Amino acid sequence: MSYSSEAQVDEAFNTVSDTFKSNVTKPLEWRIKQLRKTWWMLEDNRERIVTALNQDLNKHRQETLPVDVAGVQSACLEALAHIKEWTKDEKPRQTDPFNLFGGARIRKEPKGVALIISAWNYPFMELFEPMLSAIAAGCTAILKPSELAPASEKLIAEIVPKYLDQSAIRVVTAGPKQMNYLLERKWHHIFFTGSTAVGKIIYAKAAPNLTTVTLELGGRGPAIVTPSADIDLAAKRIANAKFMNAGQICVGVNHVFVDPSVKQKFIAALSKYFDEYRSGQSRQPAYATRIVNERHYKRLDNLLEKTQGKIVYGGDRNPETRFFGPTVVDGVTTDDSLLSEELFGPILPILDATLEEAINYTVKHDHPLALYGFTSSQAEKDKILRLTSSGGVCFNDAILHMLVKDAPFGGVGASGMGAYHGPFGFKEFTHLRTVVNVPAWLELLLKVRYAPYTNKKAVA
């Protein structure tokens, strides 16, 4: 698909900027209509979304529908159900004279014109969920899908204009080179989903205009398996997180720390479940998601070639189809190639580590987006929470914490800033504006503030 020209970017930007200034996006009716239309856009195009993701990633409909269609529709319904409550003025809790007599309140105002940039691994969800937040907040927006999922990008560019208000919500297409021009516009908010490296570029580009940013960045989430865990279930769930989308998930499991006393049992269980998910050992199932492109395939291939660890499961891969079988590598040490960057793929490095060693390694590195503890001990869970930091935490499973309704989803430190989902997404696109109206009669109390300052007037 060809990229938007600078003239097209200008036209789109000027249009959504003018629309924001015209105030048409502020009434609730406009927002509700766009939210409803988004739901229908997904409903009417669900099979085309399945097909697009199948073309881009060989993703199976069973992986696509719950996330890129039903997941976004559910977010639409949540926004529709709560928009009145989210947008309502709030009263400050304290009862000082300004609150009591000045009618102090906090207005929820749209930040303005937003740029939403997404990644390719869940290209509809990562673009449309923040868009719903922007719409609910009353912003206008330009959507920039990832160029690495071209069938999805093309479909997004086709359907958005058919369903949504074109004066307020536009799609532009761009690769990394064209992003400079887009990022030089004066945005009121940028919502970015992608790698930590590009997140830093976005942050720097936002700085000259003092544009606020939400950065949903890279993962590198560890799993820690202690002897107290249900080892079979831990393996079943971790294997699932690596198999789904070929491990190309920001909240996937990057590497596993396993206590040596349970390691062999854990690896045997992992192998059993990977066999099951593949419908038999060494199968390249037709339903397996492939690696997104040749560059990422070669990146994973190189990391695996360089590892000092031992492949104990899988390792089979095919550069022609970009199928990369789930691959378990044992005996990985902390200086191994497999720990040099976020894997974002189906390789699972296993490190021998006690809980303390796992925590020590984790706290010495960037805060991950997600952290997974597999343990039945409350004391161990408390220890993990007390001593580490991460965007989110899930005990005894992976990924599921991001499904919690009304809870923030986002990173911390190198895994991002800001959060979304439900009211938290709404807040990212909202300016909280404090308003107070000071009555004349409050002079009775306020008169002490005026000069000349005398002892008689001293208040403190």
Least Å from the CB of residue 206 to ligand NAD: 11
SS3 call for 448? helix
| Residue with smallest beta-carbon separation from ligand NAD | 194
Q: Which of 76, 250, 342, 394 is catalytic?
A: 250
User: Residues of 220-241 as b/e, b for ≥16 C-beta within 10 angstroms?
Assistant: bbbbbbbbbbebeebbbbbbbb
Identify whether 216 is a catalytic site residue. Answer: yes
Q: Residues 91-95: contacts with CB within 8 Å, 24+ apart? A: 92/434
Interstrand relation of 430-435 and 105-110 (parallel, antiparallel or unpaired): antiparallel
Three-state SS for 173?
coil
Q: Give me the residue label for tokens 């992986």.
A: 63
Q: Which residue's CB is nearer to ligand NAD, number 90 or number 406?
A: 406
Rounded CA separation 425/41 (Å):
20
**Structure token pair of residue 4:** 């938007």
Whole-number minimum distance, CB 395 to ligand NAD, in Å? Answer: 20
Could you give the angle at which helices 46-57 and 123-137 cross, rounded to 10 degrees? 130
C-alpha span between 191 and 416 (Å, rounded):
11
Q: Output 105 or 298, the one with its CB closest to ligand NAD.
A: 298
| DSSP of 356-396 | HHHHHHHHHSPPPSEEEEE-S-HHHHHHHHHH---SEEEES
Q: Which is nearer to ligand NAD, 42 or 149 (CB)?
A: 149
Q: Cα separation of 407 and 387, whole Å?
A: 22
Q: For ligand NAD, which is the closer residue by CB, 138 or 422?
A: 422
| Min dist. Cβ of residue 242 to ligand NAD (A) | 14
**Contact (CB, 8 A) for 315 and 327:** yes
Residues that bind ligand NAD (CB under 6 A): 117-121, 126, 144, 146-148, 175-176, 179, 193-195, 198, 201, 216-219, 250, 342, 344, 369, 411, 416
Q: Which is nearer to ligand NAD, 136 or 182 (CB)?
A: 182
CA separation for the pair 88, 112 (Å, rounded): 18
Residue 433, Ramachandran bin (φ over 0: left; ψ between -120 and 50: alpha; else beta): beta
CB of 438 to ligand NAD, least distance (A): 44
CB of 460 to ligand NAD, least distance (A): 48
**Cβ of residue 391: shortest distance to ligand NAD, in angstroms?**
7
Instruction: Report CA-CA distances (Å) from 84 to 28, 45, 87, 91, 309.
Output: 8, 28, 5, 15, 55
Pick between residue 250 and residue 358 the one whose CB is nearest to ligand NAD.
Answer: 250
The one catalytic residue in 216, 342, 380, 428 is 216
Closer CB to ligand NAD, 139 or 250, in the complex: 250
- Smallest distance, ligand NAD to C-beta of residue 17, A: 21
Alpha helix ranges (H) inside 92-195: 97-101, 123-137, 150-163, 176-183
From the CB of 331, what's the least distance to ligand NAD, in Å? 26
Q: Is 139 a catalytic residue?
A: no
CA atoms within 13 A on the CB side of 157: 18
**Nearer CB in complex with ligand NAD: 150/315:** 150
Query: Which residues are annotated as catalytic?
Result: 216, 250
